[in-house]
Every structure is written in C-alpha cells, then in structure tokens.
Amino acid sequence: MSIDEFIDRLRYRFNDYWHSEKRSVKLISRTLAFTLFAAVISTIAPTLADELSSDPAMLEPVSQSTSSATTSTITETPTASPSAAATFSPDPVVSRPAITVESESPFVEGSESATAELPGVPLETQTAYVIKAPTTIAVDPRALNRFMPHINVTNPNPQIQYTMVCVSGAGLRFDVKQKNGANNQVDGDQLITGDLSGLVLISAETARAIELLNSYQGLFISSTGGGISGRSLTFRFLAVTKPVVDPAYCGAARSGAITSIRPLGLDQSTVKGGGRLK
C-alpha cells in the first residue's frame, strides 16, 4: 500500500465519521478534530511569536523612534560632541531620560503652617448676640467699688465659635478672675489682657469667655478717683476666627450693652395724720 492510498483511505474514513448518520459518532469525530486543531495552534503560535519578535524588521520603527529622540537630545546640548552620533549603537534599546518632578509639598506645608500661625480676626459676617445685662445698677453714693451682676450672652449662629469681649468705662478700673491681682493671659485658647485697667479684653469660646467674665463673684468695678456712682461701663461682643485680644477690633463689634451706675435715692416723705388735742 502506497502513502497516497493510505491518505485516501484516512480521508474517506474521516469523511464517513464526520458525516455519519449516528449522532454520537459524528459528535466524537468532530470533537477529536477540533481538539487536534487546537493542539496544533497552541504549538505553532508561541513559535511563530518568538520568530516575529526576533525579526529585526519588526523592531525597525522602535529603533527609528529612539534614534530620533536621542538625536534631538544631543542637538539641544551645546557641549555635545559630533562624534557621538557616529558611535551611536543601532540596537533597539529605548532610552528614557530621567524625569525630575519638583514636589510642591514644601510650599503647601509652608502655606498651612503660615495660616495656622495667623492671629484671629473678626468674622466678615457679625451675627447679633443675645445679651441679658442690667441697664442700671444702684450703689451707695459714697461707694468706691462694686461687683457687677452676672450677665448672660449667647449667639444663635452655631458657626460662631470664638468671641472677644471688650469691657470699658471712663474713670473705672476692672478686675476679672482672681481679685486684687492682674490675671492677664496672652497664650492659649483663653486670652485676657488689660486686667486692673479701664479696658479689659477677654477672648475664648463664647460660653467660656462669659464664664471668665462672671467668675469669682463677677466683674469687680472700682473707681480711679471719687465714687463710682454716675459712671457707666460698656460691653462689646465680637465674633472672631480664633481667640485674639486686640483693642483695635472693639470698634468693629455690632453687639453690646451699656450699664449705668446710679446712686441710691434717699427719699423723704411727710405723712399727715389727724390727732385730737385734749
């Protein structure tokens, strides 16, 4: 039997199986054919890919692109030697220049640090405070000092966190916190300045600032000369971004109260009544 006859017999046999009337034979023959075809493709494909990757003609565009990029770099360098182009290797090696990215983090960190160190300033929008303070207080006409009744101050705006309180009065001196001693605080979240003077500034969170003003039995008022009757003191409340005690900001306050100190009246009245004489 010759090879041609053998091939013809295989082809006829395969054709019989492929178009067999039995469904199972037809399914098995086609499955074996597809399996054989997949095995051949899986064997040939990697070999073909390796041959194509090693073909210099396939790498020519990469070599030209690299040569162009390198030539441009050499042209831009004033000190480049002309002999460098002659010794350039035509191997398909992609050369990537080092890319230096300048980080902007020092600038950002510096900006944040600078913002954190900025002093507090008044808010652009000043919401009116709700102030409950006496308009007048009565004292003995000869009195030289007196405790101020406690005051209550709130702000309906929940976004306002810090408040600066200014207390001033002509011919008066104010004492906050512990009495008979200056309790100025220039650092931290609770600031006090001007204690034992005619202008006291207190700055902290709103509730805490009012607590400091009312602490130790309240604000102590004394006169710098003569009695305190007939004088008055002014309260100003200013919303700020953070605790700050700057007298220049007191004039920007939109909320305040004035308490007048008046002498006690000693009224005399005559009562007339009937009587019988004997």
Which of 116-120, 195-199, 264-268 is the most confident on average? 195-199
Tokens of 169: 């009065």
CA–CA separation, 227 vs 145, rounded Å? 8
Work out the average pLDDT over 113-141.
88
Greatest alpha-carbon pair distance for the chain in Å reads 181
pLDDT tens-digit series, residues 30-82? 788 778 878 878 787 777 766 666 655 555 554 444 444 444 444 444 444 44
Cβ contact 162:206 at 8 Å: yes
Tokens of 110: 């510096």
H or E element, residue 136:
strand 136-139
Query: For the segment 199-248, what is each residue's pLDDT rounded down to a tens digit?
Result: 999 999 999 999 999 999 999 999 999 999 999 999 999 999 999 999 99
Report whether 167 contacts 210 (CB < 8 A): no
- What's the CA gap between 107 and 100, in Å, rounded? 17
Instruction: Give residue for tokens 């902290």.
Output: 204
| pLDDT band at residue 257 using 50, 70 and 90 as cut-offs | very high
> Kindly report the CA angle at 138 between 198 and 264, in degrees rounded to 5?
125
Asked if residues 158 and 248 have their Cβ atoms less than 8 Å apart, the reply is no
CB atoms within 10 A of CB 215: 14
For 15-36, the pLDDT digits (tens) are: 776 666 777 777 887 788 778 8
Distance CA 76, CA 251 (A): 64
Helix (H) or strand (E) holding 227: none
